Structure 1
Amino acid sequence: MSGTFMMSRETPAEELAWGKLRWMSSPPATGARNLTVIEVSISPGEGHDFHKHPDQEEVIYVMSGRVEQWLDQEKRILGPGDSVFIGADVVHASFNVGDGQAQLLAILGPCVGDAGYELVDVAGESPWKGLRARR
């Protein structure tokens, strides 16, 4: 097959403590080999804590809201139309600092493993566990 339509309203959301994920392209959903695309919704005051993808590059594009985006130990506030490129194995985190839902598009490549996605949580490790407190 040369492609697949993925309709957001027909793609089930994965509910997490901090928000929702909608897998718009991944090996199980589309047969993709090179791109995993995730529609991400972060609830106000919540975030996807410090983590990395050892074998994947990522682009995070902000569609709506205000996001405190960390790239290693540097942070910026991103708004609609802003993005960040994250190299493979670089620690990063995204926190919603706005009043409403923050909507992001996360694009990772290449696909890794059966799900097309790998994640190593480092939020409990130094220096990441205390980084936000040092604002």
Structure 2
Amino acid sequence: MLINPDAVPTMTFDWGSIKWFVTPDAVAGAGATFGEVIVNPGMGHARHDHPDAEELLYVISGEARQMVADGEEFIIREGEAVHIPAGVFHSTYNTTWRPLRLIVTYTPGGAERALTEAPGFRVHPAGDIPTWRRS
């Protein structure tokens, strides 16, 4: 099944955006979630966990501070991956002037549903291009 990014909705938040290409809700028979996350320069998401799903991050481009399991923060860069076990708290902060682009998976899928309750959540229909304003 081919999935065109222009054919799926975009979630936006104060810190960036997400396009979920595969989710159990959108793709019949899917057991995992797969998407692209963009974290805007100088932004990040609050410490949180996914009680029932592990998460895998792969850095397409950019650099950020990553925290996993309340351990010491470390830098993630292009080409690196981070595994976050189910129920482990974590956060990601882009401390650079460039957008951070990540591929993100949840196994099993479904953890993305909680994002609809996140501060600043908005969903844009497929084909819409979200914009951000400078402060």
Give the TM-score range, shorter chain: 0.7 to 0.9
Gaps of 5+ in 2: 118-135
Distance 1:23 1:63 in 2: 16
TM-score of the two chains, using structure 1 as the length reference: 0.77
What is the aligned partner in structure 1 of residue 27 from structure 2?
30
Sequence identity (%):
30
What is the aligned partner in structure 2 of residue 50 from structure 1?
47
What is the aligned partner in structure 2 of residue 62 from structure 1?
59
- Report the aligned-residue RMSD: 1.9
What is the aligned partner in structure 2 of residue 77 from structure 1?
75
Task: Check if 1:19 corresponds to 2:32.
Answer: no
Larger relative contact order, structure 1 or 2 (CA cutoff 8 Å, min sep 6): 2
Gaps of 5+ in 1: 122-135
TM superposition shift of 1:10 = 2.8
TM-score of the two chains, using structure 2 as the length reference: 0.77
Q: Which runs of 4+ in 1 moved over 2 A?
A: 9-12, 116-121
Distance 1:61 1:24 in 2: 15
TM superposition shift of 1:32 = 4.3
* Matched AA of 1:98: T
What is the aligned partner in structure 2 of residue 94 from structure 1?
92
TM superposition shift of 1:35 = 0.8
In structure 2, the CA distance between the partners of 1:9 and 1:33, relative to structure 1 (3 Å rule), is closer
Contact kept, 8 Å, 1:40 with 1:106, in 2: the verdict is yes
**Which of 104, 112, 135 is the equivalent residue of 1:117?**
112
TM superposition shift of 1:69 = 0.8
Contact kept, 8 Å, 2:22 with 2:30, in 1: the verdict is no
* Matched AA of 1:95: Y
